[in-house]
Structure 1
Amino acid sequence: MERESSYKTRKVISIGTVSELTGLSERQIRYYEERKLIFPERSERGSRKYSFSDVETLIDIANKREEGVRTEEIRSELKRKKKKDDQASRSKMIQGQLNAQFGIRKK
């Protein structure tokens, strides 16, 4: 599972490739960045780099926009999802630490 996570979150995809994968224009992708819906990294030369997770998020954003959902609503939903995911990760980590402390093994 960790390997899946690492390849999905590594920011290595150029904006041109993301545009081809999503069907969005580069301008639309930059707009969603301006609206704080996605957060690409910058290479040493300043070009944007995206992850597979970003591509999935952009496709989800595009679908919601086609349904008429405003960017503010999408941003709020993304924040709620991130908070929920963070809490789940934290719970998993704590459970793992407890299991290790008390010698409990998963079967």
Structure 2
Amino acid sequence: MDYKSKKVIGMGVVTELTGLSERQIRYYEEKGLVFPERTKGGSRKYSFHDVERLVEVATKLEDGWRIQDIKERERRLSAKQRDDLIRGQLNSAFRTFPTKK
């Protein structure tokens, strides 16, 4: 695991890094846009990837995106990435090469 993936950053530092309020960050978590870990005491811990994600979400919302739009785009990208991975594995297994479109 690289250092950017470790969930070690507390809420106070995340608010300073992102410029978002605690309320906004909790709302994004509630909507399934970011997934902090919880300590035994219940405090949220974020990774550097989470911080980048929060900034990305806030920017998209400021640009007029809806939360549903963000989640739908990610679902489509995830499906495409999964399809590309499978296609690559099949191409490798059967020694075929993708055709240009």
Which TM-score applies when normalising by structure 2? Answer: 0.75
Decide which of 3, 6, 12 is 1:10's aligned counterpart. 6
Decide which of 19, 30, 46 is 2:15's aligned counterpart. 19
Correspondence 1:79 to 2:75 = yes
- The answer for the alignment partner of 1:102 in structure 2 is none
- The answer for the alignment partner of 2:97 in structure 1 is none
Q: CA deviation at 1:85?
A: 5.5
Task: Show structure 2 runs of 5+ residues with no match.
Answer: 94-101
Correspondence 1:70 to 2:76 = no
Aligned length: 91
Which TM-score applies when normalising by structure 1? Answer: 0.71
Q: CA deviation at 1:78?
A: 2.9
The answer (yes or no) to whether the contact 1:13–1:51 under 8 Å persists in 2 is yes
Decide which of 27, 36, 41 is 2:37's aligned counterpart. 41
Q: How far apart, CA to CA, are the structure 2 residues paired with 1:60 and 1:51?
A: 14
Decide which of 43, 52, 59 is 2:55's aligned counterpart. 59
Q: How far apart, CA to CA, are the structure 1 residues paired with 2:12 and 2:82?
A: 30
The answer (yes or no) to whether the contact 1:8–1:53 under 8 Å persists in 2 is yes
RMSD: 2.3
Task: Show structure 1 runs of 5+ residues with no match.
Answer: 99-107
The answer (yes or no) to whether the contact 1:9–1:52 under 8 Å persists in 2 is yes
Provide closer, same or farther for how the CA distance between residues 24 and 39 of structure 1 changes in structure 2, counting only shifts above 3 A: same
